[in-house]
Amino acid sequence: MNTQEIDFVQQSFALVFARKADLAERFYVHLFARIPEARAMFRGDFLKQKTMLTTMIAACVKKLDDRRTLQELGEQLVLVHAHLDLGQRETEAAKRSLIAALRDVLGADLDRQTEAAWGRAIGLVAGTMTRH
C-alpha cells in the first residue's frame, strides 16, 4: 500500500473506531447473509468474538505501514482460524462483508478512494488466511 492509501484507511478508521460495536455487528450480519452456515463456526461468547474482530482490525490499521508486523498479525489470524479450514469462498465473503460493514457505518464518509484503500488493506491481511 502506498502512503496515501494508508492515510485514507487510518483517517477513516478514526470515525469507525467510535462505532466499532456497530462495525462488528454489521460485519457479522453481512457475513451470515453471504454464508449462513458460518453461524455454526461461532460458538460461545459472541460478544468476545466481536471484540476480537475490532481489536484485530485496529491493530492492523495501526500497522499498515509496517509490513513485518502486519505479516505477523496475519500469521496470528491464520493460527486462530486454522481449525476452521477457511477457503477462498469464506475469505472472499469476509472481505466483502467488512467492506459492506464499513459502508454501513461510514455512509457518505466512505468515498471511492477510501473504499479502494480499505479493499487493499483488507486484501493484505485476509489473503494470508486462505489455506487452499
State the total domains in the chain. Answer: 1
Burial environment of residue 27 by CB neighbours within 10 A (0 to 12, 13 to 18, 19 or more):
buried
Query: What pLDDT sits at residue 62?
Result: 92
pTM: 0.86
Which CATH number belongs to the domain containing residue 11 in this structure?
1.10.490.10
Question: Exposed, middle or buried, 31 (CB in 10 Å: 0-12/13-18/19+)?
Answer: buried
Please report, in tens digits, the pLDDT of each residue of the chain (132 residues total).
899 999 999 999 989 999 999 999 999 999 999 989 888 877 767 788 899 889 989 988 999 998 888 888 877 877 776 566 667 788 888 899 999 999 999 999 999 999 999 999 988 877 655 443
Domain membership of residue 78 as a residue range = 3-129
